[in-house]
A = this chain, B = another copy of it.
Amino acid sequence: MAVYTDVTPEELEAFLSTYELGRLRAFKGIAEGVENSNYLLQTEAGSFILTLYEKRVNPADLPFFIGLMEHLAKRGIDCPQPVRNREGVALGQLAGRPALIATFLVGTSVRRPTAANCAALGAALASLHKAGADFTEFRRVNALSVAGWRPLYEQARERADTVAPGLAALIADELLMLEERWPRGLPAGVIHADLFPDNVFFTDGKLSGIIDFYFACNDLLAYDVAICLNAWCFEPDGAYNQTKGRALLAAYQAERPLGEEEVAALPLLARGAALRFLLTRLVDWLNVPPGALVRPHDPVEYLRKLRFHRSVTSPRDYGVTERQTA
């Protein structure tokens, strides 16, 4: 939930007058995204999302994010398309913040993905990876890959066991192993890196939009698949749903077959992905101001997922089938 920056209608009208979007008809702060302030704009030209970039976003990353969305939209990916102003510039300035107007995507996210949703997601993820292959104008290192985990652990270590007994030791073990064995040389490219169900819209059961590219970066493509297995294929009771995993992986591979090494690395990548979300949630959880109205995500959900991944003995446990590997 967001909306941090207060924009006056007067400031907005002045900003909007630099675009070819006609007059403002309505303007509401919306509860979407956690890093930025988002507003729904209705103008004579239709509906748009206005994003003001808050302090957690590094302004130096904005050309990557905006360039990527433009690139993907041009290649037919259903993602927000940045709107350029009369001078041909997409990134503006409003209320003292970098600001972007992008197209509004129709659809609603699902809370409990079905196997059909997972299949649609797998296909869309592969299309995104293919469409991003020739996006080379900007690069962005993944600050939340293996090299970024130990600093998070250091922030949380002292109080980690207040969340779950033995958590600090388990994370320390896992970190050592992952730092040593994290795969190198797998196919890399642009990944979304945060493709949770609330960032994916469906309309009449069909995937109609992917949003929130503010963790996107250059990293291993199969790591993005592992993030999605974590985010889409577990049940609320913590069980991995192999039917959903199979649907996601089969649909992904129909678009972009995974190499043998990528398949072999899946269990390790899935452990890494679980640890990454466990760590960021843990740090957020331990740093909530008392009395805050926003409750952070429960880190224990990802501890359970991590435990599942530690029990996995073969990529087949995720639902990869023999014939699917390239």
Q: Is A259 an interface residue (CB 8 A)?
A: no
Q: Tell me how many chains of this kind the complex includes.
A: 2
In the complex, A304 Cα to B185 Cα: how many Å?
68
In the complex, A324 Cα to B44 Cα: how many Å?
40
Q: Give residues of chain A (1-58) contacting chain B, Cβ–Cβ below 8 Å.
A: 1, 3, 8-10, 12, 23-32, 40, 42, 47
Q: How far, in Å, is A61 (CB) from chain B's closest CB?
A: 25
Name the B residues within 8 Å of A1 (CB-CB). 3, 29
Interface residues on A, range: 35 or more
Name the B residues within 8 Å of A12 (CB-CB). 108
In the complex, A9 Cα to B110 Cα: how many Å?
6
Q: Is the CB of A107 within 8 A of B26?
A: yes
Q: Give residues of chain A (209-246) contacting chain B, Cβ–Cβ below 8 Å.
A: none
Partner of A292, one of B30, B47, B112, B291: B291
- A31 to B, closest residue via Cβ: B29
Partner of A28, one of B10, B26, B40, B290: B40
In the complex, A9 Cα to B10 Cα: how many Å?
34
Partner of A290, one of B25, B107, B291: B291
Q: How far, in Å, is A63 (CB) from chain B's closest CB?
A: 27
For this complex, 12 residue pairs linking A to B, each with C-beta atoms less than 8 Å apart, are A3-B31, A10-B111, A12-B108, A23-B204, A26-B107, A26-B108, A29-B31, A30-B30, A30-B31, A31-B31, A289-B290, A292-B292
